[in-house]
Every structure is written in C-alpha cells, then in structure tokens.
C-alpha cells in the first residue's frame, strides 16, 4: 500500500540553525500538508500546499517557516532559525480527494530536537 515517507526520523540541532524536513507524498496526490505535535500536546495544523503554492497556513506558520516542492516528488518544510520551542514531531500528509472525502494520509513523522 502506498505511503507517505518522511526523513529524517529524528534530527537534533542547535538553536539558531536551519533545518529541512523532507517528505515524499503518495505519488498521485496533489494536496500536501505539514502538522506538528509538541510532546504531550495535540496535533497542530501548520500549512497546506496545492499547485505549488500555500493554500492555507496557521498562526504558527510564521516567517521562519517555508515550504517547497522542489522536484515534483519531495515536499519540504524549512525552519530558518530554530528555537527551543520548535522541538516537536512534524508530520507530513497528502491527499488527492479534497473535492469529496479529503482523507489525509500521514507519514510517521520527523522528530526535531532543538538544543
């Protein structure tokens, strides 16, 4: 069964460093998402992406965050200058059916630890 894959599974970085989290969505999907989950808290929506542009973003997704689909397969989340509070699990998701069901398929996540 096709699945969303994310790399790295765990990244440790120093505060102030740039981080890029990568996702390979399911191949025929057109809509892509990033979510994050701080330890012990709920899953929070960050951003949705369609047709090479952001379609919606939350208040969390400020100027230090950016997303890109550089090569037609990967979907990346960049955090420009990491802060301690960026430590979280980051989940990528994709779907091809927003017009009807819009079931999202999630990856297993990338754990980011900022020291």
Partner 1 sequence: DAKTTQPPSMDCAEGRAANLPCNHSTISGNEYVYWYRQIHSQGPQYIIHGLKNNETNEMASLIITEDRKSSTLILPHATLRDTAVYYCIVRVPGYNDMRFGAGTRLTVKP
Q: Closest approach of Cβ 56 to partner 1, in Å?
A: 6
Q: Which is nearer to partner 1, 33 or 82 (CB)?
A: 33
90, burial (CB in 10 Å: exposed 0-12, middle 13-18, buried 19+): buried
Q: For residues 55 and 50, what is the distance between their CA atoms, to the nearest angstrom?
A: 6
CB atoms within 10 A of CB 34: 25
Number of residues engaging partner 1 in binding (CB under 8 A): 27
List 91, 94, 112, 114, residue binding partner 1 (CB under 8 A) = 91
Q: For residues 107 and 91, what is the distance between their CA atoms, to the nearest angstrom?
A: 6
List 43, 69, 74, 78, residue binding partner 1 (CB under 8 A) = 43
Q: How far is CA 85 from the centre of its chain?
A: 16
Residue 72 engages partner 1 in binding (rule: CB under 8 A): no
Residue 84 engages partner 1 in binding (rule: CB under 8 A): no
Number of helices followed by number of strands (H, E) in the chain: 0, 11
List 64, 73, 83, 103, residue binding partner 1 (CB under 8 A) = 103
Task: Output Rg (C-alpha) for the chain, integer angstroms.
Answer: 13
Residue 11 engages partner 1 in binding (rule: CB under 8 A): no
| Interacting residues toward partner 1 by CB under 8 A | 4, 33, 35, 37, 42-45, 48, 56, 89, 91, 93, 97-109, 111
């Amino acid at each position: 069964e096709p699945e969303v894959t994310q790399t790295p599974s765990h990244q440790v970085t120093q505060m102030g460093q740039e981080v890029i989290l990568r996702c390979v969505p399911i191949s025929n999907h057109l809509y892509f998402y990033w979510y994050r989950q701080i330890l012990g808290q709920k899953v929070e929506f960050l951003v949705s992406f369609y047709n090479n542009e952001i379609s919606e973003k939350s208040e969390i997704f400020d100027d230090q965050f950016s997303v890109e689909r550089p090569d037609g397969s990967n979907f990346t989340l960049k955090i420009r200058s990491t802060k301690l509070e960026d430590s979280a699990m980051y989940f990528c998701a994709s779907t091809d059916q927003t017009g009807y069901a819009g079931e999202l398929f999630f990856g297993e996540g990338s754990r980011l630890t900022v020291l």
